[in-house]
Structure 1
Amino acid sequence: MTTLHFSGSYRQDDVEFLLTPMALEPILDLAEKERLIQSGQRHYSEMLSPESLPSPAYLALFQSAFAANRLQMARDCLRLAALIAARRSGPVTLVSLARAGTPVGVILGHVLRQVFQRECCHYSVSIIRDRGIDANAIQHILAQGHAPEAIVFVDGWTGKGVISRELRQAVHDYNAQHGTAIDGGLFVLSDLAGTATCAASSSDYLIPSSILNATVSGLVSRSVLNAQIGADDFHGCVYYEQFEAHDQSRAFADGLVADALALAASDGVPPAKAVDSDAMAARSQAYMAQAQRDYGVEDINLIKPGIGEATRVLLRRVPERLIVRDTTAPDVAHLLLLAQEKNIPVSVEPALPYQAVALIRSAVDG
């Protein structure tokens, strides 16, 4: 099992990735990748799309989004840290879900230590749809002496709730097998699906870290689980050393931490806002059913609601269509640029319950 401390491009005390750095050739033909995934011949976790640096125009949109939304994200990080501190007594073990959860976990760790005076450590682990959480990583965390009840699972947002449900089931199974009592609930900044245990908000706003890939997540790829990973290994990842000169990871997290500390000093900790999970879940289910009808989508996995999920689709999948509520909203500017660059049709639905939704092109039915 991998035991070497691996922090990607972050500082050692920011995070320990419980991932196995590996060499993996990306699948260059995205259409072929989609065909393999959707036909069931390959699982999405076995392959990676190529990652490239953002264009100057796209990077400018990231900087603009960061300037516009950093205070909202900082406030939500502060609020989520307060919710964690209220629910956990004693030391906190943050376990972020690689990789969208990693920047959030880094920020939360600093805020918990500096604002709430909590002893806190942060690991980032792999969870994969249909394959569960990396049990070797959980075993490693417990072997370091961390109490099971101190563990807090963290991610950036929920889309339609697949990963939060996967997490709950995987941790339930782990507890049953090992006699532990780990809380399998997910803590997020924004819960669009109504499936998180704890969330700072339920609004579909542009979380700036969702715009970039590795260059805001410690230069680490999405996690990989294929034949190269042994039974005792952590799930794999690729470290993009070639992007080091363009890395935003530390600067992004440091900026958000500074904002959160300034907010705490000037305004105090923002009160927790009740998130109506039942209403969010009902909204999510109603929209998914409607989108399946309106666009003739049989496989619900091809519908990706919310800005964060839509961004992932346009960056690394084969999109069929981008749907937005308002083309003039600053939060969707980067999506419209990506759609233009990739010649993806855009539909406008003023009654859309999210700011954006992306549909993945079906590679199976003709």
Structure 2
Amino acid sequence: MKEFSTYKKDDVIFLLKDISDMIVEEDNMTREKKIQSGTHYSEMIPIEYQVSDEYLNLYRTKLKENKEKLAFAIGVMSEKILKRHDENVVLVSLARAGTPIGILAKRYIKQRYNLDLPHYTISIIRDRGIDINAIKYIINKHKDSSKIQFIDGWTGKGTIANELKKACDELEGIFNMKFDSSLAVLADPCGYSNVYGIREDFLIPSACLNSTVSGLVSRTVLRDDLIGKDDFHGAKFYKELKYVDESNNYLDTISACFKNEYQNIDKTMKNWTEDIITKVGNCDVKNIKQKYDIEDINFIKPGVGETTRVLLRRIPYKIIVDDLNNPKLKHILILAKEKNVEVEEFDFKAYSCCGIIKNMKDV
């Protein structure tokens, strides 16, 4: 079988079509103009931004600093998944930010309980929905498994959580069975998940880099000339970037900390019954929209993960932060400086920062 991703087969099965030789990356400015002129973002992939040595060193420092916290959050999220579903659950990560988080959940459950749960990664795309062919494959393969647990990295402003809810309603009609639309995430600053590891808006190091911390796989693509009606959604494998790949080191670093966190995880889970969806981030999004007179809510990308993505893959207008001296946001400030993007402070209720995309009409 042709290689697709640098992840181990034991960690994840990709239900994606390899379109590596069928698609050419486009620069951020070209893509931004196309997106704002009506081309859907899922029809293109960006050129992989090669970060500076200063930025890469910061990523490694942050991984070292946050590894215990990440292991704790993965553990809490995984325990909640098991409490809700017992052993009859298939882990399904949403590519690509969900993939490393799903792998870590699988590893935690296997390490602590010797349960080897199946784990797949599939595509879901805003306004285009979930990959129905991938869901069909999972259902056929795991007829005895009663539940699918969807997993992502973090919640930005709840867009994918809402997309998943819509998708699950559609899937119920297609397959005549119940689907759980709860989205498990490592971090849920916006309050859209009821299976989260932590609510804090903090740096998940896998948000810092692109494919080089995601198994060298691109974000997913859905385009009629590339994806047939029976195909999975597509993605590219950047095999030429193997020399800078951090993916497995990222997983191994966090996995090595699980045991140290068992006690803290158990203490947190002792009286847990369920998490309440608060949608607390909606207030910040509304205030940002109003203050900066933003017409399209899709230009607002709140939270550390989404702000990082704006700086790596989009054309930013402005970055707003809770505190210019917040040590959690150092990588944001480095990227903003490298790209000459204005940064200013804002009074947040839920998030610690937000990226605002430039309106190309103003360029």
Same fold (TM over 0.5): yes
| Letter of the 1:10 counterpart | Y
| Alpha-carbon offset, residue 39 of structure 1 | 2.3
| Alpha-carbon offset, residue 31 of structure 1 | 2.5
Specify the SS of the correspondent of 1:33: helix
- The equivalent position to 1:310 in structure 2, one of 307, 312, 337, is 307
Q: How far apart, CA to CA, are the structure 2 residues paired with 1:88 and 1:117?
A: 16
Using the size of structure 2 for normalisation, the TM-score is 0.94
Q: How far apart, CA to CA, are the structure 1 residues paired with 2:81 and 2:166?
A: 21
Measured at CA, do residues 351 and 82 of structure 1 come closer, stay the same or move farther in structure 2, by a change above 3 Å? closer
Specify the SS of the correspondent of 1:271: helix
Using the size of structure 1 for normalisation, the TM-score is 0.93
Q: How far apart, CA to CA, are the structure 2 residues paired with 1:268 and 1:157?
A: 19
Match of residue 127 from structure 2? 130
| Alpha-carbon offset, residue 268 of structure 1 | 5.9
Measured at CA, do residues 130 and 267 of structure 1 come closer, stay the same or move farther in structure 2, by a change above 3 Å? closer
CA deviations on 1:120-165 (whole Å, 9 max, x unpaired) are: 0110000000000100101111121244633110011101000011
Measured at CA, do residues 147 and 210 of structure 1 come closer, stay the same or move farther in structure 2, by a change above 3 Å? farther
Measured at CA, do residues 177 and 364 of structure 1 come closer, stay the same or move farther in structure 2, by a change above 3 Å? farther
- Preserved CA contact (<8 Å) 2:190 2:351: no
CA deviations on 1:255-289 (whole Å, 9 max, x unpaired) are: 1111113322x6563423675522xx1x3222111
| Letter of the 1:122 counterpart | H
Match of residue 110 from structure 2? 113
- With 50-59 and 301-310 compared, the bigger mean Cα shift is at 50-59
Q: Is the counterpart of residue 253 in structure 1 residue 251 in structure 2?
A: yes
Q: How far apart, CA to CA, are the structure 1 residues paired with 2:252 and 2:4?
A: 16
- The equivalent position to 1:104 in structure 2, one of 90, 95, 101, is 101
- Preserved CA contact (<8 Å) 1:90 1:119: no
- With 344-353 and 118-127 compared, the bigger mean Cα shift is at 344-353
- The equivalent position to 1:89 in structure 2, one of 76, 80, 86, is 86
| Letter of the 1:284 counterpart | G
Match of residue 227 from structure 2? 229
Q: Is the counterpart of residue 153 in structure 1 residue 147 in structure 2?
A: no
Match of residue 260 from structure 2? 262
Instruction: For 1:20-99, list aligned pairs within 5 A.
Output: 20-22=17-19, 23=21, 24-28=23-27, 30-40=28-38, 42-99=39-96
Aligned CA RMSD, in angstroms, stands at: 1.8
Specify the SS of the correspondent of 1:358: strand
- Preserved CA contact (<8 Å) 2:126 2:160: yes
Specify the SS of the correspondent of 2:10: coil
**Seq. identity, %:** 38
Instruction: For 1:318-337, list aligned pairs within 5 A.
Output: 318-337=315-334
Specify the SS of the correspondent of 2:191: coil
- Preserved CA contact (<8 Å) 1:102 1:124: yes
Q: How far apart, CA to CA, are the structure 2 residues paired with 1:337 and 1:241?
A: 27
Q: Is the counterpart of residue 357 in structure 1 residue 360 in structure 2?
A: no
| Letter of the 2:141 counterpart | Q
CA deviations on 1:13-72 (whole Å, 9 max, x unpaired) are: 1001111111211112x22321221221x1000001100332111101101111121111
| Letter of the 2:230 counterpart | D
Q: How far apart, CA to CA, are the structure 1 residues paired with 2:106 and 2:2?
A: 17
- Preserved CA contact (<8 Å) 2:76 2:265: no
Q: How far apart, CA to CA, are the structure 2 residues paired with 1:232 and 1:20?
A: 11
- Preserved CA contact (<8 Å) 2:68 2:257: yes
Structure 1 stretches lacking a partner, 5+ long: none
Match of residue 16 from structure 1? 13
Match of residue 236 from structure 2? 238
Specify the SS of the correspondent of 2:248: helix
Measured at CA, do residues 197 and 350 of structure 1 come closer, stay the same or move farther in structure 2, by a change above 3 Å? closer
- Preserved CA contact (<8 Å) 1:158 1:196: yes
Q: Is the counterpart of residue 168 in structure 1 residue 165 in structure 2?
A: yes
Match of residue 175 from structure 2? 178
| Letter of the 1:172 counterpart | D
> How many matched pairs?
357
Specify the SS of the correspondent of 2:283: helix
- The equivalent position to 1:344 in structure 2, one of 313, 319, 341, is 341
Specify the SS of the correspondent of 1:120: coil
Q: How far apart, CA to CA, are the structure 1 residues paired with 2:284 and 2:70?
A: 26
| Alpha-carbon offset, residue 365 of structure 1 | 5.8
CA deviations on 1:155-201 (whole Å, 9 max, x unpaired) are: 11101000011011112101111112121210111112222231122
